[in-house]
Structure 1
Amino acid sequence: MRISYNAPVTLTFALFSMLVLLADLYLAPNLIQNLFTIDGKLTFDPQNYAAYVRLVTYVFGHADLQHLLSNMMFFLLLGPALEERYSSGSVALMIFATALLTGLINAFVFSSGLLGASGIVFMMIVLTSFANVQRGQLPLSFLLVATLYVWQEISQAGADSDISHFGHMMGGVMGAVFGFLENSISKKPT
């Protein structure tokens, strides 16, 4: 039996995120702050090239090991199944689009910074509920996931924490959009 690199996008994302955290902790302090955290609207500098790069790279930065592990457990659980269902290229595109749109909105609307892959994880959670969609049917699993997810984010939105509930909500919205788009495209009669 040999080990296979079965989900290249998922595994590469997880390994790179781990390397970024280790580099920040042991080799280059403030690496995450400088390259893997997006600024909010009060500090976003449109004259700074790195600010535009961070519109996407923030998903690889994590505040600490616990933050990384909590995101990567779900990421590594859901990613391979999504890559098998939708293809690695499609999943990479979904991750990029979710990161970019969430980053842009955060940079120009919200005053707080943003880092971590939890928005991507929430996109994957919602997208996974579309795995067995039949044409013309709305899966109960999607409705339950969406309801629980929205309830959790709304109930915690007022809490004083460093959690970006907007990032989670945006990820969930993007997962629903991708789920509907992918399933409507793949189910079209030929």
Structure 2
Amino acid sequence: MQLSVNLIIVGLTVLVSWRAFNDRSLLERLLLWPPAVQRRHQYDRLLTYGFVHADWTHLLFNMITLWSFGSAVERVYSAWFSPLGYVLFYLSAIVVSILPTFIVQRNNPAYRSLGASGGVSAVLFAFILFAPWSTLIIFPLPIPIPAILFAVLYVGYSLWMDRRGGDNVNHSAHLWGAAYGVLLTLALQPRVLGHFLQSLTG
């Protein structure tokens, strides 16, 4: 029986985040702090920030979402390439989703960012391409909602909050992660677009 790489990613993220909750120096070394990347060339922070979280609520929300939808996306990517393909998809999404924020904030010593939300958004939106009418129940709200409707509401809310600001959530990373999940999946397998459109109208 093959061990799910998605489950390994979830477990690793929980372990690293838990350790960082109790080790401030570890947290500070792994989160995204632009001056450390810009001046000290600690480019690994563009990835490691996705393995630490602000608190248990932040961690559980991301990991429950990744666990719920990542296994399906992993099966598709593994069929196309290998389990390594899914790993590269997820890790690259973490990096790509934060790049626009890093460019804007690269000279801001007061800015910090952490959390797997960009990578999780990429996985969730790739899943929506495969099954747009599947029913999602997004923790912690026990309200079933069609995946495609959730996608529209999610993008609209993230755009609004990104413009509004003030809640200490990097909505830009959510949006770029979602866009990356859709665009990379379609670039790798353009036929998915036909499947998506047929599913919407079928």
**TM-score range, shorter-chain basis?**
0.7 to 0.9
- Which one-letter code corresponds to 1:13 in the other structure? I
Pairing partner for 2:33 from 18, 21, 39: 39
Moved >3 Å (runs of 4+) = 141-146
Alpha-carbon separation, structure 2, partners of 1:129 and 1:45: 33
* Residues 136-163 of structure 1 deviation map (CA, whole Å, 9 limit, x = unaligned): xxxxx77544422211112322142111
For residue 54 of structure 1, report the CA deviation from its aligned partner.
Answer: 0.5
Q: Name the count of aligned residue pairs.
A: 172
Asked whether the equivalents of residues 6 and 80 of structure 1 are also in contact (C-alpha less than 8 Å), the reply is: no
Which structure 2 residues correspond to residues 2-41 of structure 1 after superposition, within 5 A? 6-8=3-5, 10-26=6-22, 28-35=23-30, 37-40=31-34
Asked whether the equivalents of residues 20 and 32 of structure 1 are also in contact (C-alpha less than 8 Å), the reply is: no
Alpha-carbon separation, structure 2, partners of 1:21 and 1:59: 9
- Which one-letter code corresponds to 2:175 in the other structure? M
Asked whether the equivalents of residues 10 and 67 of structure 2 are also in contact (C-alpha less than 8 Å), the reply is: yes
Task: Kindly indicate whether residue 158 of structure 2 is the aligned counterpart of residue 153 of structure 1.
Answer: yes
Query: Against the structure 1 CA distance between its residues 186 and 66, is the aligned structure 2 distance closer, same or farther, given a 3 Å change threshold?
Result: closer
Which structure 2 residues correspond to residues 1-190 of structure 1 after superposition, within 5 A? 6-8=3-5, 10-26=6-22, 28-35=23-30, 37-40=31-34, 43-49=35-41, 51-87=42-78, 88-110=83-105, 111=108, 112-131=111-130, 144-157=149-162, 158-184=164-190
User: Which shows bigger deviation, 83-92 or 145-154?
Assistant: 145-154
Alpha-carbon separation, structure 1, partners of 2:73 and 2:8: 15
Structure 1 vs Structure 2 CA RMSD: 2.5
Query: Against the structure 1 CA distance between its residues 113 and 48, is the aligned structure 2 distance closer, same or farther, given a 3 Å change threshold?
Result: same
The equivalent residue for 2:199 is: none
Q: What is the identity percentage for the equivalent residue pairs of Structure 1 and Structure 2? A: 25
Alpha-carbon separation, structure 2, partners of 1:119 and 1:45: 19
Alpha-carbon separation, structure 1, partners of 2:37 and 2:188: 35
Asked whether the equivalents of residues 11 and 76 of structure 1 are also in contact (C-alpha less than 8 Å), the reply is: yes
- Which one-letter code corresponds to 2:33 in the other structure? D
- TM-score, normalised relative to structure 2: 0.74
- TM-score, normalised relative to structure 1: 0.79
Alpha-carbon separation, structure 1, partners of 2:104 and 2:94: 15
Asked whether the equivalents of residues 44 and 107 of structure 1 are also in contact (C-alpha less than 8 Å), the reply is: no
